[in-house]
Structure 1
Amino acid sequence: MAAEHRFLKFILPAKAFAAVRAGTKEWLAECPCGHKRDIWDSGGVRYKAAGEPRCLGYCPACRKNTMHKIRKKTEAEKREIP
């Protein structure tokens, strides 16, 4: 578990932490090379958020720092990337 997640688990009640985790699991980061990864699994938190920002991040597939698009998962992606 990432340090941010441990901190949230420490300060939030169990029900609130579960809500933050569930909300964040709906988002993914997509590299221009096509590689997708879950925000929560990569150590991030995105709870009650809106919009589709871009942020600089490292892609393990192409091994480059690129601008990743942050977006909600589609229904198919929710089944592929739990």
Structure 2
Amino acid sequence: ALGGVAGSAIGGGRGQILASIGGALLGGLAGNAVENQVGKTRGLEITVRLDNGETRVIAQADDVALSSGQRVQVISGGGPTRVVPM
């Protein structure tokens, strides 16, 4: 919308209409690009073998330090399942 407003300030008549449409399109593309980058979070896909032998794969944000073979606690219920070090 802001791109359309900025474009409408350019020229007059048919040129002003084209500038408004072009500004709105460019503004929409720029806004979409920003939204896509803001919504991204680095993540992990963690494969866990439970004590009962069952295997689970859990995806979560890359906000914990884990190493292969490390014992972890799987927390679930009331939200997404999380893996945390013991």
- What TM-score comes out, normalization by structure 2 length? 0.29
TM-score normalised per structure 1:
0.30
Asked which structure has the greater CA Rg, the reply is 2
Structure with more of its chain in helix, by fraction: 2
